[in-house]
Structure 1
Amino acid sequence: MVVSKQVRAVVVSPAMVQQRAADLVKSDARILLLRARPEWSHGDVSVGDATVRVLPGVSQLAVLDILDSLGEGEQAVVLTDRVAEDLGDAVLARAYRQEVELPDEWQAVPRLFPGATEVGLDLRRLDWAGTALLDHQPPGGWPRSPAPAVTARHAIGSLLSHVLGLGAATQLDDVLLLITLGQRIHGQSWRLVDERLRAHVIDWVEKEVGKPAALALMIAERNEHITPLAVGLVLDVLWPEDGSPPTESQVAARVRAEGYINGKAVPVDGAKGLARLAKAAVLRLEVDEKPELGIALQQAEALLDDLGWVDGAEQSSVLKPGYAARVRDLAACLTAGEGVEEGLARVHAHRDVAISHAPAMAVRLHRWLATEERGAVSLAADLQQQIDDGAWVDAAVGAVWHGSDDPAVAASYQDLLDRVRTRRGKRDESASSRLAEVNAGDDSKALGVERILEVVVDPWRRSSTGSLLVVMDGMSSAIAAGLAAEVGRMGLVEWVPSATQRRQAAVAALPSLTNVSRTSLFCGEVRLGGAEDEKRGLATAFPGAKLFHKNDLRSQGGAALPQDVVAAIQDPSVPVVGIVINAIDDATHKSDTSAWQWNLRSLDPLRALLEAAISTRRAVILTSDHGHVVERDTEAMSVRGAESRWRPVATGPVSPGEVLVSGRRVVAPDDQAILLWREDAHYGSRCAGYHGGASLAELTIPVLVFQAAALTQGAVGWEPAAPQVPLWWNDPVREAVAPSLKPAAKPTKAKKPKAPSMGDGLFDLEDLPAQPAPGGGLVERVLASPMYADQKQRAGRAALDDVTAGAVLRSLVERGGRAHHDTVAAAAGIPAADLGQVFAAVRRLFNVDGYGVVELDSDGVTVRLDERLLREQFELGDG
């Protein structure tokens, strides 16, 4: 008697049966014998239009019965655990390939991936992967294999993307995985995957992708309502990067956090890795503006509360409480006067740094207060000081004024503002006392508003194809400082008088009112008038010139500028095109401008005008008729007959905070008026802003000159401007650095002739303090070294001159080896337009053999000097 032999058989997957059925349909055989447990509950399978039956074959007789039961054209896959000898020739002769096939799923895998012919060894080592790839094959198939051998990274990566519901072709990285698991639909898809397969995938991810990604998968399978990103942000404060000793509450929270991961002790490297991953995910979500970020941030704060360490959120560089805590710390530093720069660095390290400019502006005011106050010797010096740094102070005050809702921070800011106001008040009082100098006709070198056409506009309309004169009524020097940078990014280069290398400043006519000062500007003499007087005045000064006021700037639908304005700018026979923009002056009478950010968008149609000037190569002069002071809790003074910031002499005697002015530049009864120099007071009704008084913010008229970058020649006596930011704006104040209006000496070259009218300019050169040369010992030794001479010879004609090279090096040495590139350029007198070219030359000169002695930091704005490497490369020793 023959005893039938039962062999060990496996449960075959539906995907395997489907694939073998497809091969059977292509043949003439009636059945395909597949070694497997004779168990099947999935019904028949379809292959195209054909249907293939799937039946168990427990014995030879059972298989013969299946053959007899098949109708014409029917085929079947038979699952049997019998060996070939048991089934006999009667069965085998009618079976596919006359054999019992072994269900080697690896044979099927290459056919699942287009372009593959075999299975890579790394994938074959995963004994669970073949079944998983067969069982989870997507309707459209797996993505094409990049190589003939299917790798584990390609196959399992595609499998993970598919089971998460992303689509098998999605290229997952660890950051995208973390983000995806936080989305409800994808997190749910992951939790629906078979538990054993999840364990296999997590194990593979930990080995091939990293422990942080594996932890993210563990968190997602364990928590339905808390995202892995939120947990990662919590781990960031539980295990901070700085390795600081944990508090008792922090340690307890670490233990409780285990329940949100896998119930086991969290590995430190994995926790820190997931924290870094979470912060990278935050950056990506911010760029894509995804709503998941806000949810995760809220969840992280709530989770820290659940863990019993709510204060932990204040340690975060991502969560909002962390930003608030850092700003409070900075405020305390400002009050104490210590650790301010470090406090600002901590604020800047938080993701919410862009929420408010107030912390950075507060530190800038702190730096300014730490600088030595120069005693001005003339009204011209007062005006220039306002342009050089007072304007920037005013801009910073605007940002700090509404700086914080936190009482402690607000109190610190208020104390800072009080100190700033005191110092600014002394400047205003001093400047107001000098107004008589101008009126008396003294040669103080201050440029009156009535001479802007002669001293500035005329030289520039002669040197180019005409000028575009834009008068922004009420524009203060603070607004001009911010606007200049934006204009410079349009392809316009700023020019300044060669004598000072600083922006030009003019003084308003008195009182500093529109119908006085603006009329005086266009008419070339101090007088009272209106729009028609201004048009006649400009046409008289420059025959053929045209002036457009507010109502003239209303364009037709779809046009940026009215056609007659465009035609005038394009017409070379029009020597000067004048434009009056009233947006600023109008706003000071109607809207709260205490925190207003003026820019090209809010000064419409300025951008369109500038673009027209660039295309026609007209020089651009941006100026004003007066500035203004902003309403910030000013004292209301009731004086009958007074107007905003000035009053007739007949209204009463001069009081503290006021100044009596008289003379040819005063347009008032008997050529006399009483003006407020105090910024914190006004007459009459409260407005958003005021002008007419004698504060430097009102008196100082900024005069900005630009021309297209393609034009390299300017008016006689003018040159391309270096960055005009004060040295304290972007960098800490160093004791070794004395502030100076005059940048470092320029390279010796043929001097441009000075404009004959500049004798009435802002400064005589002797008014400017000498430039100190701290750090000179090292700088001089570098410039005198043989290596420096060799580097210059290598650079050839492209070598930087010694004066500029030394100035750049000195500016970095003075500031501890790090400085904003605008600070370096301003200190070295490098035109802003040449900064990139000069910096490239500096690197060629000092980076011996490519070593990074002078480099630009990853932030793109900080220049860094490695002094140790400098000494080493130039063989200077340590002394």
Structure 2
Amino acid sequence: MPELDQRVITGLLTTRLARTRGRRLILVHGKYVMGGPEEFTVPAGDGSRRRVRIAHATSVLGLTTAWQDHLATEAADLLVVTTDVPGERISLDLLGEMVRSQIIAVDEVDIVKQLFGASDLDPRMRRDPWQWLPAALIAAEPDAAQGGWPQRGAVLTLDAAMRALVGVRLGLEGVYEGGVSVDVDALLAWSRTQGGPERLAGLSEAERQGITEWLAQSAGEAAPVLLRLALQGRGAEATALGVLASVMTDDAASADAAVALGSVFGSGSRPSELRAYARAVEGSLTRWIGEASGRGPQSEDARQRVVDVIQQADRLADHAHLTASLAGNPFLPSGFQARLHQLADALPEGPRAAQAAWEHVAEHQLAALLYPKRVELARMAVRLSRWLDTPDPVVSSVGQAVRAHVADWGWVDRALAQLWVGDGEAEPALAQAYRTVHDAARRRRALLDEAFAARLQPWAQHATAGQPEETFPIEDVLRKVALKLAEKRPPLVLVLDGMSSAVAAQLGEELTGAGRWRELSDDGRRAAAVAMIPSVTVISRATLLCGRPVSGGQGVEKEGFVAFWKQHRHEAVLFHKSEIPGPAGQLLDSRVVAAIASDAVVGVVLNTIDESLDHGQQSSLADWSVVRVKYLSELLNSARGQGRPVVLVSDHGHVLDRTGPEVGPLAAEGVESARWRTGTVPGEGEVTLAGPRVLENNGQVTVPWTEEIRYTPRKAGYHGGAALAEMTVPVVVLAPSATLAPDGWSELPRESVQPVWWDADAGTSVPARAPAKAVKKTGQGKLKPRPQEGEHVADDAVEVPVTPAPAAPTLGQQIVGTKIYEHQGKFVRKVPDRKVVAAVIDALDASGGTLSLAAVAAAAIASGGRTNTRPEGFVTVLTRLLNIEGYEVISLIDARTRVRLNRETLREQFELPKENE
């Protein structure tokens, strides 16, 4: 005899009340559940509700008594009696009162159709193994406050019914209405909810089994594993256990690891299920990591979810003795540590092995989310490894050394500064590997400082502005750079006091990397000037801002800056630290904002870096971003809004204190500052400098060239000495548009700014102008090759053109010589010259397939292309020429700031023979 509850009775009556014909007694075959409500209301179908009383009788006498009692009360309209009395034993009196004059048998299928508003059900729901489903749907119906079951249309399908049932039974929000799919992501989230797994455990065995089998079909083979874990009370660690299951996806997994994993999951899980479960969990974690990479509360929630899971997984792996077997796992923190350990082993093997190991570190799924600084530090070590593998650099002159420092050696300093701070979480082996690379690079850099000091000593005796040697004294920055920019638009001159070449490298990379600023140059490289001697603020900054060698404070700087620009018919204004901040609610003083909006040349001195040398921690000087320089972002935004070019320049660089607290100041005579003194007898690591560029002590000072000497108590960093990092003044010229470039200037590609060893995939830099093909001929008539960067050539050398030997056609030349290219050109307006297209293809090919937009434009210009060509427009023309039938030969990547060439597709589309043929 079926057991009936209020939901079944309600569903049954809803289908029958329209045919009662005034009768008030309904007999139903079954037994009403104990404890169920004896009276309730049901919908009548016309918008009204009828009151129902429930009773149960096991005999004809009981039926008669229940009916007589009902007639004696006015409480209810209908009487429903559940009974097992056969119909033939019912008296005629009762039959006359009964709806349809018969005992009604419950048809659960009819009730389900009514509950879902369907005219029919999926036929499978009437057969094994789904016969349990109608009763489960009736029992699980949401109450009226939730709106009951959603209406499914003419036919209620098995999947729709199961989705509705699973949504309600497991508490999966939104699933039973049909708005959310039941996938592993949803089940993993459910497994961590309070009480979620208990809902499943409370179901009948048939219903549990049916739900499990359906989820295995709809959500995948991973679902049964997850549900078993939930039933075992392990739902809270189900996701973490999925990370451990990745042992089964490794072909090299040992038998011991498989046994250990089996003990974790129990004997009920098949290897194929565990592999599917591992893949499903990894997919969910990958999506969570993507969500966590954004901003806002949801990203923070996703980040915390990831952290909780992977930390739990690491603990479970350790408890199950699976940590070693999971060393290659791309999600576990222990896996990240294992990759760093492999990097420590690879660094001594050379740059190729180190690069491969670093790429393995960077490929860890949590690298960018949780360990970006550790990954970047590892990258710095690999970069230094590549630099150490390059030919020994040479110092041939002061000008050459300063240019080389801003273009190359300052980037070494940037990596060294970060490596010196180190990784506080690094294991001893990794820390030692970093220290070995750091110390080797420091020794090499020290040789360059020593060689530079030897060149600086004779140079200082006669060096002045306008010397024929390619030196760029600091007093010429305004004349050679800012004054040129003013021909198009008065610039904003930002003096970042103490900015070294290392800091400029990082700031320039950040500012141009997002595509908001274009770096400009007049000779295809970043400018570098030489500071005054000693390289201290009171001398070098005043000289920079006045445009002539001078010593003085802020008053001298203001007067000199205005006077310089007045001499060149421009109004000008200079702001110092106390004049920059605005009142409450304003970031910048209104006078600064008004000046930038005017037609005057504006200068602003920012002291953040210099003050950090005095008061900051050494670690704070190792890594600089734009937001760390106070007011820099606001000033740049203001200049960009007014269409102004910007000159980022320092008055001098700095060195960091790496000696440690146990090393005190050097005892010496005539100490005037941390890095210069008046004594005339230089000791080891020092040099005495004299001449017109020395503006202290009557033109003669003694300064250290090594970073390890200081004369005053310890600070985070110093300036005033003769090291390259102090004497080099980087000059970064930025503009919101390349149209602000003065005549003869052009946009400076990123590839021309950073050294070739900085990135492993960097190819040959693309020059802004075509290099002259020539050799040097000395006065004695001898020929020798054009010198490379760092080599010195006698001043009497003259260039003699040399015709190069015939060479095989380049890839670009082969492409533009094909019939297919000629045909493509018929459908493109204003096709560039063939040699221009060929040169760009070759430049992309030489760089490994990617170049910045600026580098592509530079390659085009160098081969005779138009100088006013918009890089984006030029690349659009290239895509029309080279992208045949939609295949991407040329494409824009990285937020449309870089161009990528697919070499294989290019050769295939233009039907070039295979390269090994």
Listed as ranges, the matches of 1:481-520 within 5 Å are 481-488=505-512, 492-498=516-522, 500-520=523-543
Name the structure 1 match of 2:336. Answer: 323
Q: Which runs of 5+ in 1 are unaligned?
A: 1-8, 747-761
- Report the Cα distance in structure 2 between the residues aligned to 1:861 and 1:123, rounded to whole angstroms: 58
Is the 8 Å Cα contact of residues 745 and 803 (structure 1) preserved in structure 2?
A: no
1:402 to 417, 421, 430: 421
Name the structure 2 match of 1:591. Answer: 616
- Report the Cα distance in structure 2 between the residues aligned to 1:13 and 1:392, rounded to whole angstroms: 79
- Report the Cα distance in structure 1 between the residues aligned to 2:225 and 2:534, rounded to whole angstroms: 71
Name the structure 2 match of 1:67. Answer: 67
Give SS of 1:651's match. Answer: coil
Of residues 602-611 and 721-730 in structure 1, the stretch that sits farther from structure 2 once superposed is: 721-730
Is the 8 Å Cα contact of residues 457 and 467 (structure 1) preserved in structure 2?
A: yes
Is the 8 Å Cα contact of residues 289 and 366 (structure 2) preserved in structure 1?
A: no
Name the structure 1 match of 2:248. Answer: 239
Check if 1:579 corresponds to 2:573.
Answer: no
1:637 to 636, 651, 666: 666
Name the structure 2 match of 1:32. Answer: 26
- Report the Cα distance in structure 2 between the residues aligned to 1:327 and 1:425, rounded to whole angstroms: 29
- Report the Cα distance in structure 2 between the residues aligned to 1:301 and 1:408, rounded to whole angstroms: 21
Compared CA separation, residues 100 and 371, structure 1 to 2 (3 A): farther
Listed as ranges, the matches of 1:217-296 within 5 Å are 217-224=227-234, 226-236=236-246, 238-240=247-249, 243-259=250-266, 262=268, 267=273, 269-280=275-286, 282-283=288-289, 286-287=292-293, 288-290=299-301, 291-296=304-309
Listed as ranges, the matches of 1:850-869 within 5 Å are 850-854=886-890, 865-869=901-905
Give SS of 1:244's match. Answer: coil
Compared CA separation, residues 859 and 619, structure 1 to 2 (3 A): closer
Name the structure 1 match of 2:779. Answer: none
2:360 to 346, 349, 362: 346
The residue identity in structure 2 corresponding to 1:564 is R
Compared CA separation, residues 305 and 627, structure 1 to 2 (3 A): same
Deviation of 1:373 (Å): 4.8
Give SS of 1:646's match. Answer: coil
Deviation of 1:579 (Å): 0.7
Check if 1:782 corresponds to 2:804.
Answer: no
Deviation of 1:532 (Å): 0.3
- Report the Cα distance in structure 2 between the residues aligned to 1:416 and 1:212, rounded to whole angstroms: 46
Give SS of 2:261's match. Answer: helix
Name the structure 2 match of 1:533. Answer: 556
> After superposition, what is the alpha-carbon deviation per residue over 1:99-157, rounded to whole angstroms, capped at 9, x for unaligned?
5444232333344447x554345666633332222212223035645754334444323
Compared CA separation, residues 865 and 402, structure 1 to 2 (3 A): same
The residue identity in structure 2 corresponding to 1:239 is M
The residue identity in structure 1 corresponding to 2:671 is A
Is the 8 Å Cα contact of residues 232 and 277 (structure 1) preserved in structure 2?
A: no
Deviation of 1:372 (Å): 3.7
Is the 8 Å Cα contact of residues 163 and 190 (structure 1) preserved in structure 2?
A: yes
- Report the Cα distance in structure 1 between the residues aligned to 2:821 and 2:230, rounded to whole angstroms: 60
Of residues 314-323 and 513-522 in structure 1, the stretch that sits farther from structure 2 once superposed is: 314-323
Check if 1:719 corresponds to 2:746.
Answer: yes
The residue identity in structure 1 corresponding to 2:168 is H
Check if 1:164 corresponds to 2:170.
Answer: yes
Compared CA separation, residues 844 and 437, structure 1 to 2 (3 A): farther
Q: Which runs of 5+ in 2 are unaligned?
A: 43-48, 294-298, 772-791, 862-866
- Report the Cα distance in structure 2 between the residues aligned to 1:367 and 1:545, rounded to whole angstroms: 45
- Report the Cα distance in structure 1 between the residues aligned to 2:516 and 2:747, rounded to whole angstroms: 11
> After superposition, what is the alpha-carbon deviation per residue over 1:817-875, rounded to whole angstroms, capped at 9, x for unaligned?
55575897599479999665555544433332222445578999987655443332212
Check if 1:95 corresponds to 2:98.
Answer: yes
1:361 to 363, 374, 380: 380
Compared CA separation, residues 388 and 598, structure 1 to 2 (3 A): same
Give SS of 1:795's match. Answer: coil
Is the 8 Å Cα contact of residues 495 and 718 (structure 1) preserved in structure 2?
A: no
Name the structure 2 match of 1:385. Answer: 404
The residue identity in structure 1 corresponding to 2:503 is I
Deviation of 1:393 (Å): 2.2
1:847 to 875, 880, 883: 883
> After superposition, what is the alpha-carbon deviation per residue over 1:46-86, rounded to whole angstroms, capped at 9, x for unaligned?
22786522223445554343322212343222324456555
The residue identity in structure 2 corresponding to 1:135 is A
- Report the Cα distance in structure 1 between the residues aligned to 2:515 and 2:907, rounded to whole angstroms: 39
Deviation of 1:211 (Å): 0.7
Of residues 94-103 and 126-135 in structure 1, the stretch that sits farther from structure 2 once superposed is: 94-103
Give SS of 2:741's match. Answer: coil
Check if 1:627 corresponds to 2:653.
Answer: yes
Listed as ranges, the matches of 1:712-791 within 5 Å are 712-723=739-750, 724-726=752-754, 728=756, 731-732=759-760, 742=767, 745=770, 777-791=810-824
Check if 1:77 corresponds to 2:80.
Answer: yes
- Report the Cα distance in structure 2 between the residues aligned to 1:869 and 1:554, rounded to whole angstroms: 55
- Report the Cα distance in structure 2 between the residues aligned to 1:217 and 1:205, rounded to whole angstroms: 9
Check if 1:670 corresponds to 2:698.
Answer: yes
Name the structure 2 match of 1:312. Answer: 325
Name the structure 2 match of 1:706. Answer: 734
2:440 to 396, 408, 419: 419
Give SS of 1:213's match. Answer: helix
Name the structure 2 match of 1:755. Answer: none
The residue identity in structure 2 corresponding to 1:681 is I
Of residues 130-139 and 531-540 in structure 1, the stretch that sits farther from structure 2 once superposed is: 130-139
Compared CA separation, residues 487 and 824, structure 1 to 2 (3 A): closer
Check if 1:876 corresponds to 2:909.
Answer: no
Deviation of 1:329 (Å): 0.3
TM-score by length of structure 2 reads 0.83
- Report the Cα distance in structure 1 between the residues aligned to 2:191 and 2:805, rounded to whole angstroms: 60
Is the 8 Å Cα contact of residues 460 and 690 (structure 2) preserved in structure 1?
A: no
1:806 to 804, 827, 838: 838
Deviation of 1:477 (Å): 1.8
Compared CA separation, residues 732 and 488, structure 1 to 2 (3 A): closer
Compared CA separation, residues 206 and 513, structure 1 to 2 (3 A): same
> After superposition, what is the alpha-carbon deviation per residue over 1:153-193, rounded to whole angstroms, capped at 9, x for unaligned?
44323333333334344624322321331234433444444
- Report the Cα distance in structure 1 between the residues aligned to 2:391 and 2:766, rounded to whole angstroms: 13
Is the 8 Å Cα contact of residues 394 and 448 (structure 2) preserved in structure 1?
A: no
> After superposition, what is the alpha-carbon deviation per residue over 1:538-560, rounded to whole angstroms, capped at 9, x for unaligned?
11112331111111123211111
Give SS of 2:366's match. Answer: helix
Deviation of 1:812 (Å): 4.8
The residue identity in structure 2 corresponding to 1:69 is D
Name the structure 2 match of 1:757. Answer: none
The residue identity in structure 1 corresponding to 2:720 is G
2:7 to 15, 36, 47: 15
- Report the Cα distance in structure 1 between the residues aligned to 2:444 and 2:158, rounded to whole angstroms: 70
Give SS of 1:617's match. Answer: coil
Name the structure 2 match of 1:183. Answer: 193
Give SS of 1:245's match. Answer: coil
Compared CA separation, residues 581 and 37, structure 1 to 2 (3 A): same
Compared CA separation, residues 775 and 647, structure 1 to 2 (3 A): farther
Compared CA separation, residues 162 and 861, structure 1 to 2 (3 A): farther
Name the structure 2 match of 1:477. Answer: 501
| Equivalent pairs, count | 840
Is the 8 Å Cα contact of residues 407 and 754 (structure 2) preserved in structure 1?
A: yes
Deviation of 1:618 (Å): 2.3
Compared CA separation, residues 69 and 808, structure 1 to 2 (3 A): farther
> After superposition, what is the alpha-carbon deviation per residue over 1:311-334, rounded to whole angstroms, capped at 9, x for unaligned?
234232111111111011012111
Deviation of 1:25 (Å): 6.9
Name the structure 2 match of 1:564. Answer: 591
Compared CA separation, residues 733 and 278, structure 1 to 2 (3 A): closer
Deviation of 1:516 (Å): 0.6
Deviation of 1:686 (Å): 1.2
Q: Please, what is the CA RMSD of the aligned residues?
A: 3.7
> After superposition, what is the alpha-carbon deviation per residue over 1:11-67, rounded to whole angstroms, capped at 9, x for unaligned?
335422232345667764313333335665423252278652222344555434332
Is the 8 Å Cα contact of residues 38 and 54 (structure 2) preserved in structure 1?
A: yes
- Report the Cα distance in structure 2 between the residues aligned to 1:456 and 1:719, rounded to whole angstroms: 13
- Report the Cα distance in structure 1 between the residues aligned to 2:755 and 2:158, rounded to whole angstroms: 57
Compared CA separation, residues 616 and 255, structure 1 to 2 (3 A): closer
